[in-house]
Amino acid sequence: MFDYFLHYEPQFRLIIFVSTFIIIFSWELLAKKRSSEFSVDRTLTNFLLMLINSLALRLVMPILAIELAFQLETKGFGILQQIALPEFAIFLISLILLDLAIYIQHVIFHKVPFLWRFHRVHHADTGFDVTTGVRFHPGEIIFSMFYKLILVLLLGPSAAAVLMFEILLSSSSLFTHANARMPRNIDILLRWFIVTPDMHRIHHSDQTDEALTNFGFNLSLWDRLFGTYRPDPNYDHIDMKIGTRNIPAKKASSIWYMLISPVYKN
Ligand SMILES: [Zn+2]
Ligand SMILES: [Zn+2]
């Protein structure tokens, strides 16, 4: 059964991705949070980065995390495969540990100057909407895939957990970047469990003290646990400035500049 899913994995993930995108995009149309987020250039740049990234993964990586997990599943590799626990427990633990690992990776991308040059492309976006959720430099995507391959080797998660995690990660990235309103009480309730758009928007502030908070992707637990949680921005969500101070909107909307920008220190 799982072999069947794995065989059709790209198509399966594409359907989930497109459906989630349409849902979040409709939510933005119906309940927009901030005005003037849309610009043809920046939207095109965000989509082009997404296309280049899918291509880069296929061309550069010899194997993807999901394929490696599937190949190693029955070979006893990794910590989790040494523990005698029901399959579902291993599945859940795998998801939680992978989420923690991605939180750590995100912190590393901000703290290591060389890696920040790549992650900066995500933060340079002067808007914040569903398309920001697919805006990453190919260098970051390739680094992240190597990181996930090492995680699969060390942890030994089930292939089903890795597949579920990849789906959760790409869907939550669309959700957490939504430029959409959510009733405050629902936002507060959800934040006890998951990262919400209002929580992640603070991470996209051009103020350094705000950008170094709310690193989580799925579970909000890690920010609360490691003291990087911030409930509100300095200013209102509507007035806060999004982006990075050194990169003006015009450069941030240029696909060429964004692709070569890691060569520049600032
Ligand atoms: Zn970041
Ligand atoms: Zn983001």
Per-residue model confidence (pLDDT) at position 64: 87
Q: Are 162 and 77 in contact, with CB atoms under 8 Å apart?
A: no
* Ligand 1 centroid to residue 88 C-alpha, Å: 31
Residue 24 clears pLDDT 90, i.e. is over it: yes
Which ligand ends up closest to the CA of 175? 2
Share of the chain above pLDDT 70, in %: 97
Which ligand ends up closest to the CA of 111? 1
**Buried residues in 1-40 as b, exposed as e (16+ CB within 10 A):** eeeeebeebeeebeeebeebbeebbebbeeebbbeebeee
* Ligand 1 centroid to residue 119 C-alpha, Å: 7
Q: What is the mean pLDDT of the chain?
A: 93
**Where residue 266 falls among pLDDT bands split at 50, 70, 90?**
confident
Per-residue model confidence (pLDDT) at position 170: 94
Residue 243 clears pLDDT 90, i.e. is over it: yes
Residue 91 clears pLDDT 80, i.e. is over it: yes
Which ligand ends up closest to the CA of 177? 2
* Ligand 1 centroid to residue 203 C-alpha, Å: 6
Long-range (24+ apart) CB contacts under 8 A made by 42-48 are 42/125, 42/126, 42/127, 42/131, 42/249, 42/252, 42/253, 43/131, 44/255, 45/135, 45/252, 45/253, 45/254, 45/255, 45/258, 46/125, 46/131, 46/132, 46/134, 46/135, 47/131, 47/134, 48/255
- Token pair of 170, please? 């790409």
Per-residue model confidence (pLDDT) at position 37: 66
Which residue type, as a one-letter code, is found at position 221? L
Share of the chain above pLDDT 90, in %: 79
What CA–CA distances, in Å, run from 46 to 12, 41, 175? 22, 9, 16
**Where residue 7 falls among pLDDT bands split at 50, 70, 90?**
confident
Which ligand ends up closest to the CA of 214? 1
Task: Please calculate the CA angle 195-196-199 and round it to the nearest 5 degrees.
Answer: 85
Per-residue model confidence (pLDDT) at position 2: 61
- Stretch 162-177: mean pLDDT, rounded? 95
Which ligand ends up closest to the CA of 136? 2
Q: Are 196 and 217 in contact, with CB atoms under 8 Å apart?
A: no
